[in-house]
Amino acid sequence: MPSATQTGTPVIEVSHVSTRFGQAVVHKDVSLTVNQREVFAIAGGNGCGKSTLLREIIGLTTPSGGTIRLFGVDSRRLEASAGQPIHRRFGVMFQHGALFSSLTLAENVAVPLREHTKLSPRLIREIVDVKIAMVGLPADSAGKFPNELSGGMRRRAALARAIVMDPELIFLDEPTAGLDPMIAAGFDELVLSLKTHLGLTVVMVTHDLDSLWRIADRVAVLGDGEVLGIGTMEELSESDDPIIREYFHGPRGRAAMEQAVWNGREPEP
């Protein structure tokens, strides 16, 4: 079960963000904060702008309006040299893992170290070996290429790459999408374990309701270009907002809630 939400200076502050692509409006007015050492999930239906918001937070896309601060720094500065120290403080696991097909698992995990440090090849390999072990992959998988790995192993390899620089914060974009339910559950437990042992803050974009019940401390539900609600899964499951209610009380939502009750996380009355 997720831990209690941490307090203190927010790690991420999103304030009145709007996003337009031509005539298409993705975000009208999005505001949220992420606190230290919590698992914060961004959820919502397809096309609600979850992944776009993640890209804006890490500085890959610039919003049309509003501000985003990451560790107190405006995300628009992350592309400049002044943003490099901030890049070292977070890791990203992109959707479907986004591993380089021409590199082995170990070489994929080593990419951030080779690009952003002056460590010796021997030390890089030692660090990579440790991270591969931390995500539960066997040592003999290090020399395999992505097409030789299962879907679950590729996600774990991508997670190892996300933590290889010892970040304080990691972003996970649809980390369990397309995975078998048992493999997805194992991945969720791995995320919780790493969060606890490494003191991580985790921001997760997902539509996986089982994952939300298993590991999210708080969830922001996006819809109609705005944040429809933010809270624990228990709080959101009692929301009066019709979109949130449909999201949580549709067939998939009811099944996920029943599984949460079975696992001992019963919604508050």
Instruction: Round to whole Å and give the CA distance between 93 and 159.
Output: 6
Query: Looking at the domain assignment, is residue 111 inside a domain?
Result: yes
pLDDT higher than threshold 60 for residue 181:
yes
Query: Looking at the domain assignment, is residue 118 inside a domain?
Result: yes
Per-residue tokens: 255: 């099944």
Query: Looking at the domain assignment, is residue 57 inside a domain?
Result: no
Angle between helix axes 151-163 and 105-116 (nearest 10 degrees) is 20
* pTM for the full predicted model: 0.87
Query: Looking at the domain assignment, is residue 148 inside a domain?
Result: yes
Higher-pLDDT residue of 97 and 65 is 65
Write the pLDDT tens digit of every residue in 69-97: 999 988 887 765 555 678 889 999 988 76
Per-residue tokens: 213: 């019940």
Q: Give percent above pLDDT 70 in the chain.
A: 87
Query: Looking at the domain assignment, is residue 51 inside a domain?
Result: no
Query: Pairing between strand 169-173 and 201-205?
Result: parallel
Q: Per the structure, how many domains does the chain have?
A: 1
Higher-pLDDT residue of 260 and 158 is 158
Domain residues for the domain of 112 are: 97-166
Write the pLDDT tens digit of every residue in 16-60: 999 999 999 999 999 999 999 999 999 988 888 999 999 999 988
Residue 143's pLDDT is what?
96
Write the pLDDT tens digit of every residue in 202-226: 999 998 899 999 999 999 999 999 9
Instruction: Round to whole Å and give the CA distance between 65 and 223.
Output: 18
Query: Looking at the domain assignment, is residue 101 inside a domain?
Result: yes
Query: Looking at the domain assignment, is residue 158 inside a domain?
Result: yes
Residue 3's pLDDT is what?
46
